[in-house]
Amino acid sequence: MAILQLDVRPWKGERRNSRAQGRVATGPNVDQPLHDLSSIFHRNGSMAPAVSDETPIWQQVVWKLSRDAEVGPAVNAATQRLEEAHITTARLDAQVLLAHVLGVDRSWLFAHYEHVLTPDQAECFMDLVVRRVAHEPVAYLVNHKEFYGIDLYVDPHVLIPRPETEMLVDQVLAEAQIRSGEQLVVADVGAGSGAIALAVAANAPNTYIYALDISADALAVARRNIAQHDLATRIVPLRSNLLSKLPVRADIIVANLPYVTKDDYATLEPDVRNYEPVCALVGGPLGLDLITRLLRQVPNRAAPEAFVALEIGYNQGAAVVGLVETMLPQATQLELLRDYQGHDRVVTFQL
């Protein structure tokens, strides 16, 4: 039977030696000194702590699966390790990671409990689990996230799509249905992975969408997803600072812009704070910088009677409604919508 061999211990002299405080497990038997700053910068340009907030910095975990590792015991072993790292979705994460390594659906694991992993599969699985122990998001580890029933490729260049953003898509689709007899131009501002653009295109055939983002790396991810779902004739990725490069006026403007405040950013879970691109999260001291700039552009980029839908922070409803009333006094049907947890989530209005 496959077993998990755990060695969780302070290294010799580690508690006494301040120079050893940067030691971190990024893989089996890997040391990472704190003074090598380049090693703790992620590809998104943000600097992450060497270890998770909950793990004593002097600990290093060495673990491995035996040569005859089977699916069931491998999942159990990984679950144990993830639970010790305070990962709340430990078993689910272990299953998702192993299914990814094996190239199967998660349900396959339940019917193949005694399937033996190859040495390469075991090694790959162990590497992913160690990275998850450091709170690297599962979506980045497997390069996959489902959004609005659509399979998306994601990597650290883009924000991981959230279920809450599906509420924003619902509002756009409702407007597209109301105007089903028209061909509508949609501007998806801050498109990232292309999640919103793809969800709208897949469910509203009367839409032609510009996926706008200032990040070339993010647009590369969006292009990959657009091609994967064969929607290149309906979605045009375009590098743009908000609406500045939009070539035509839009009938619908939808935006999920950075809205996290600087103070709130410091309190985010390590999965988010240490790995997701800060430029896609933080919207200035009050989280409203990008939303304010967008509202300034709307009059010159929106078609008559355009519909606008904005995702906002959990407590920004009054502030964003006030901005719309002040900056766009001609706006009508101004609404603040709350999510299922009762938090402010979406502001919509008509011009």
| CATH classification at residue 231 | 3.40.50.150
pTM: 0.81
158 and 84, same structural domain? no
Among candidate residues 6, 31, 29, the one with its CA nearest the CA of residue 17: 31
| 3 state SS of 201 | helix
Class of residue 69 by CB neighbours under 10 A (exposed 0-12, middle 13-18, buried 19+): buried
239 and 91, same structural domain? no
45 compared with 146, residue with greater pLDDT: 146
- In this prediction, what percent of the chain has a pLDDT beyond 90? 80
pLDDT surpassing 80 at residue 76: yes
122 and 63, same structural domain? yes
pLDDT computed for residue 52 by the predictor: 43
* Structural domain span for residue 104: 4-141
Q: Which of 141, 168, 198 is the last residue in one of the domains?
A: 141
129 and 202, same structural domain? no
Which residue in the block uniquely carries the two structure tokens 């040391």? 31
Q: Token pair for residue 107?
A: 């349900």
123 and 92, same structural domain? yes
160 and 180, same structural domain? yes
Q: Token pair for residue 120?
A: 């390469």
154 and 133, same structural domain? no
251 and 182, same structural domain? yes
Q: Which of 98, 126, 141 is the last residue in one of the domains?
A: 141
pLDDT computed for residue 62 by the predictor: 60
Which residue in the block uniquely carries the two structure tokens 């002040």? 326
Say if residues 219 and 237 touch (Cβ distance below 8 Å).
yes
pLDDT computed for residue 29 by the predictor: 30
Q: List Cβ<8 Å contacts ≥24 apart for 6-14.
A: 6/61, 6/62, 6/63, 6/80, 6/81, 7/61, 7/62, 7/63, 8/59, 8/60, 8/61, 8/84, 9/59, 9/60, 10/58, 10/59, 11/58, 11/60, 14/58
184 and 83, same structural domain? no
Query: Where does 32-137 show beta strands of DSSP type E?
Result: 59-65
pLDDT computed for residue 254 by the predictor: 98
203 and 70, same structural domain? no
Q: What distance separates the 2 farthest-apart alpha carbons in the chain?
A: 73
pLDDT by residue (tens digit) across 150-209? 999 999 999 999 999 999 999 999 999 999 999 999 999 999 999 999 999 999 999 999
335 and 231, same structural domain? yes
CATH number, domain at 72?
1.10.8.10
Q: Token pair for residue 60?
A: 């290093």
Q: List Cβ<8 Å contacts ≥24 apart for 36-44.
A: 42/156, 42/274, 42/275, 43/156, 43/157, 44/156, 44/157, 44/275, 44/276, 44/277, 44/278, 44/279
Count of domains in the chain? 2
R_g of the chain computed on alpha carbons:
23
Q: Which of 90, 115, 141 is the last residue in one of the domains?
A: 141
158 and 131, same structural domain? no
